[in-house]
Amino acid sequence: MGATARNSLSALMKCTVCNDRLPTFFCNLSPQAISELQRVRHTVNYAAGSVVFSEGEPPRGVYLLCKGKIKLSIGASDGKTLILHIAEPGELLGLSSAISRRPYQTTAEAREDCRMVFISQEDLTRLMREHNDICLRVAEHLSQRYSGACQEIRSLALSHSAAGKLAKLLLEWTPDTHDASRPAQLKLAMTHEEMAEMIGTSRETVTRLFAEFKKKQLIQANGSSLLVRNRTGLQNLVGS
């Protein structure tokens, strides 16, 4: 992100914690669009455990996450919950519902104290009509989200076993290194219950699989720290 884009983003967000972490959604917009977005945006804070919006609620607008993490989940008729995604700073939430004027498709819950920027549905729609660059950026974002959803569905469909799904989840969290044969360390920020909700299984199954992975020396766990000892072994499980 260039200096001009950073300055424009800083003026828009009025939030110094976001400058080095946001992606390009608001970058490189015209000065007029930046000025309008600055005028209509509202900064909101959510304490850990707070619900930003719930599945089935009418859309109020979009939320840009500046600080913290947001859990996006959907509920089933049997009461079970499936975690779809953990949003990181820089991600835009609720966009598809705000554009389609259909209820929110997920529940967004703050996993930790969060700072967000809110733009109402009416303001976003008006700005899209008035500024072509904002309209294009929205289309690009929706396209990226669709592609990401397709990849997730494909990977879940190819992983028939819970072991394969858990292995894929751990690999996604593993830092990229030039030497895949070397152990990689990561910090687990989710409980076994939350990981189970992400891969559509039970907490007991996740706990059992962790024990199996340790026995096979695929991983080594110490509290919230996890050492991936055999990345190739986990990769072999993904298609199982």
What pLDDT score does 158 carry?
61
Q: What secondary structure letter does DSSP report for 149?
A: H
119, 65 Cβ separation under 8 angstroms: no
Predicted confidence at residue 238, as pLDDT, reads: 82
Distance CA 124, CA 37 (A): 9
What pLDDT score does 159 carry? Answer: 60
One CATH from 2.60.120.10, 3.30.70.260, 3.40.50.300, 3.40.50.410 for 3-157: 2.60.120.10
* Amino acid identity at 68: G
Give the amino acid at 112: E
Longest dimension (CA), the chain: 60
* Type and span of the H or E element at 174: none
| pLDDT value at residue 21 | 39
Query: What was the pLDDT predicted at 69?
Result: 92
CATH number of the domain located at residue range(s) 160-238 in this protein: 1.10.10.10
* Per-residue confidence in pLDDT tens, the chain, 240 aa: 444 444 444 444 444 334 433 444 666 778 888 888 888 999 999 999 999 999 999 999 999 998 999 999 988 777 778 888 888 888 889 999 999 999 999 999 999 999 999 999 999 999 999 998 888 888 888 888 888 777 776 666 666 688 988 998 888 888 776 566 778 888 887 889 988 888 888 899 999 999 999 999 999 888 888 889 888 888 888 866
Report d(CA 101, CA 85) in Å as an integer: 22
Domain boundaries, the chain: 3-157, 160-238
Q: In this structure, what DSSP letter does residue 175 have? A: P
